């Protein structure tokens, strides 16, 4: 896999104050659409969330399972929002992996580690929108 990421990284001395686990699916024919679900773990509580997003210029089908360290989270409500990154990448075959850093408008930063299954080629800027679900 070849990937380049542009985002605001958490300083090395920072410690994550939450984690998130998630699964997504992506279909891309020109425009890339992603949807999925996950759980935020923050201060001993679990908060379910939904993921959806659009990206530019992609081809393929992909399933992703991942975990993210979450930084600068003050409340669960701040986790919701639009996370952006710029990337060029390709994933082929049974299982590829990717790590990237994404941030939202509330200053929350996620270092994402994902395992991918499928065939996907992406080029351009992409992002996802996260919305907390009702319990």
Q: Look at the alpha carbons of 70, 72, 74, 79 in this order and tell me if their dihedral is positive or negative.
A: negative
12 part of a folded domain = no
125 part of a folded domain = yes
- CATH code of the domain containing 36: 2.40.128
Give the CA angle between residues 41, 134, 27 to the nearest 5°: 80
What is the residue-wise DSSP string for 48-99?
Answer: EEEEEEEEEEEEEEEEEEEEEEEES--SHHHH-EEEEEEEEEEE-SS-EEEE
How many structural domains are present in the chain? 1
115 part of a folded domain = yes
Mean pLDDT of the chain: 77
The neighbour count for residue 79, using CB atoms within 10 Å, is 23
Structural domain span for residue 79: 3-7+18-132
pLDDT tens digits, residue range 112-135?
Answer: 888 766 655 454 456 789 999 986
pLDDT tens digits, residue range 42-79?
Answer: 999 999 999 998 766 566 677 888 899 999 999 999 99
What's the predicted TM-score (pTM) here?
0.75
31 part of a folded domain = yes
13 part of a folded domain = no
């Amino acid at each position: 896999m070849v990937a380049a990421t542009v985002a605001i990284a958490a300083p090395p001395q920072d410690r994550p104050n939450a984690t998130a686990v998630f699964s997504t699916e992506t279909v891309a024919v020109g425009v890339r659409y992603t949807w999925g679900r996950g759980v935020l773990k923050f201060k001993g509580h679990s908060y379910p969330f939904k993921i959806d997003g659009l990206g530019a210029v992609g081809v393929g089908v992909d399933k992703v399972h991942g975990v993210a360290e979450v930084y600068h989270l003050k409340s669960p409500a701040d986790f919701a929002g639009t996370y952006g990154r710029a990337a060029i990448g390709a994933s082929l075959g049974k299982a590829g992996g990717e790590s990237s850093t994404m941030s939202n408008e509330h200053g929350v930063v996620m270092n994402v580690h994902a395992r991918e299954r499928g065939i996907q080629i992406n080029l351009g800027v992409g992002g996802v929108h996260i919305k907390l679900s009702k319990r």
